[in-house]
Amino acid sequence: EDKVVQSPLSLVVHEGDTVTLNCSYEVTNFRSLLWYKQEKKAPTFLFMLTSSGIEKKSGRLSSILDKKELFSILNITATQTGDSAIYLCAVEANGRKLIFGQGTELSVKP
């Protein structure tokens, strides 16, 4: 069965800290991995990764994929309270549909 596992499930840090969120997966016919940020409402797209070893970066957020070890990490540097959210990892499985992990709930304290 295809599955996506995220860790940790929750994390509390202080502003200015750097955090690393993990996503591991087991799916057939892997094509890509995506990261989403979900605040109080709907998930919003952050990154899509298809190739190993190539870092995607947007401001203080960056992500990298390791297709050999079947995982991805999402790094957030110099965290701010506005980074508090649930971060979702999703993997494209058969039929071009996404399988989501449980999410990591990040809380950034002032």
Return residues touching other proteins (CB under 8 A).
32, 34, 41-45, 48, 88, 90, 92, 95-103
25's tokens: 């997966």
Shortest reach from residue 80's CB to other proteins, in Å: 23
Taking the least distance from each CB to other proteins, the nearer of 17 and 107 is: 107
Shortest reach from residue 78's CB to other proteins, in Å: 27
**What is the residue-wise DSSP string for 13-65?**
EETT--EEEEEEEE-SS---EEEEEE-SS-EEEEEEE-STTPPEEETTEEEEE
Taking the least distance from each CB to other proteins, the nearer of 14 and 31 is: 31
Taking the least distance from each CB to other proteins, the nearer of 59 and 95 is: 95
Residue 110, preceding peptide bond in cis (omega within 30° of 0): no
Shortest reach from residue 9's CB to other proteins, in Å: 10
Question: What is the rounded end-to-end Cα distance, in angstroms, of the chain?
Answer: 41
